[in-house]
Amino acid sequence: MNERNSSRRPAFYLLNNRAVLIFLLVLALFTVGVTIASEGMGVNLISTSFIKTLGKTLCLCLVALAMDLVWGYCGILSLGHMAFFGIGGYAIGMWLMFARTKIIVTDSLAAAAIPPTTDEIADGIATQIFGVVGSAELPWIWGFAHSLPLQLLAVVLLPGLIALVFGWLAFRSRVTGVYLSILTQAMTLALSLYLFQNDSGLRGNNGLSGLQNLPGLDHVPQSLISIWFFWASAVALGVGYIFCSWIVSGKFGSVIKAIRDDETRVRFLGYSVEGYKLVIFTVTAVIAGIAGALYYPQAGIINPAEIAPIASIYLAVWVAIGGRGRLYGAVIGAAFVSLVSTWFTGGQAPDLHLGFYTIQWVDWWTILLGLSFVLVTIFSPRGIAGFLDFVLLNPRIAPKRSGNDLGPDAGSLREKEAER
């Protein structure tokens, strides 16, 4: 194998990519710093609730990477990736709720004079979970909820299969642009409306709750569990960043960026545009599902409102503000906007008194976010990342030259050209 091919191996790629190494170093330092300052394993400077907020933020950064990969690099404005995010959350939430309820039911029936049968335990679990929607039977989709490995497999397979089927139908029909965005939004809306129904098998509007309580770990404080999930989220983000960065490099990355810029020309050159799109759409759906599976145990609850179309629109805004087409821009955008959103919507931001009107940021946050999106689009199309590139990596710096001058010709413009 020649040197060029060997450098495309992930190990060689990682060692030769300074930007990825810097990101991993910053992420590692951030993780260590938060751990030291945490309530569960450190000096108690950061509360458990804020540790969960930071862990959820890392998960949102991971799904933002997926969005940037499919939109910023491949040019597919998907307004449905938060649906895949929610599917991953529901998949892991089913196991968490089932396993925890089974322990509660088993312990309560253990005090009976006659040991409970398997059917009695199953009926007790069904009543506990679905009594809130007037049912006492487990739906068929809960058939594997007792198995953690199968539900973890569902976290990956369900978003991937749905994206594969949807993408194959859409891309083979050569649906592009705003029409494809409308289709993805329609898919998300259909899924959300279905989950709102009580007979969907997922408790309708009540959703799945109590997900922060890990089965069999009641003796472990939430301060420690929150750190575990924070670590898992940080590792997932690091691995996801390496993977996405590796995908967009080399020939494959060049092809998907060419598809973004001129799909017709890439097809004319003989590349399977639909195949490349399908791979990116499916892979990013899986990444979104994994992010959701890590997010909702930290949130503690999931309901259909979490995967409404507006959530995917917010995701696109995060990536646009951060800077699409730059992986670290997607991370910056998701982290910045989600943390600021938590500050504004959590009632921590002080009200702004104008004399004739009082602005309460809980109500005005959505307007502020939309205004920020418009301003970034107009004045900084490359987002926060583009601004950082301009400040830190100014490409207009004059080349450093030493030795003799550029020539004796007084009318020559070479010196001026070198300074540009």
**Is 281 inside any structural domain?**
yes
As a whole number of angstroms, the distance between CA 97 and CA 208 comes to 7
Residue 31's pLDDT band, with cuts at 50, 70 and 90, is: very high
The chain-wide mean pLDDT, for the chain, equals 85
pLDDT of residue 393: 65
As a whole number of angstroms, the distance between CA 31 and CA 29 comes to 5
As a whole number of angstroms, the distance between CA 86 and CA 84 comes to 5
As a whole number of angstroms, the distance between CA 50 and CA 379 comes to 33
As a whole number of angstroms, the distance between CA 309 and CA 158 comes to 19
pLDDT of residue 7: 45
As a whole number of angstroms, the distance between CA 203 and CA 124 comes to 16
**Is 404 inside any structural domain?**
no
CB 133 within 8 A of CB 198: yes
pLDDT of residue 398: 46
**Is 239 inside any structural domain?**
yes
Locate all alpha helices (DSSP H) within 173-272, ordered by sequence: 177-195, 222-247, 250-261, 263-268
Residue 52's pLDDT band, with cuts at 50, 70 and 90, is: very high
Residue 411's pLDDT band, with cuts at 50, 70 and 90, is: very low
Residue range 338-342: average pLDDT? Answer: 86
Question: Per-residue b/e over 246-256, b at no fewer than 16 CB within 10 Å?
Answer: bbbeeeebebb
CB 99 within 8 A of CB 215: yes
pLDDT of residue 26: 94
Number of domains in the chain: 1
Of 135-149, 179-193, 304-318, 387-401, give the lowest mean pLDDT range.
387-401
User: 359 pairs with which residues across the strands?
Assistant: 352
**Is 407 inside any structural domain?**
no
Of 5-14, 176-185, 353-362, give the lowest mean pLDDT range.
5-14
Residue 6's pLDDT band, with cuts at 50, 70 and 90, is: very low
pLDDT of residue 231: 96
**Is 125 inside any structural domain?**
yes
Domain that holds residue 114: 3-399+414-419
**Is 238 inside any structural domain?**
yes
Q: What are the tens digits of pLDDT across the range 265-285?
A: 999 999 999 999 999 999 999
Examine the pLDDT at 399 and tell me if it is beyond 70. no
pLDDT of residue 362: 77
CB 355 within 8 A of CB 323: no
Residue count of the chain, please give it.
Answer: 420
CB 40 within 8 A of CB 51: yes
Residue range 21-28: average pLDDT? Answer: 94
Residue range 350-359: average pLDDT? Answer: 78
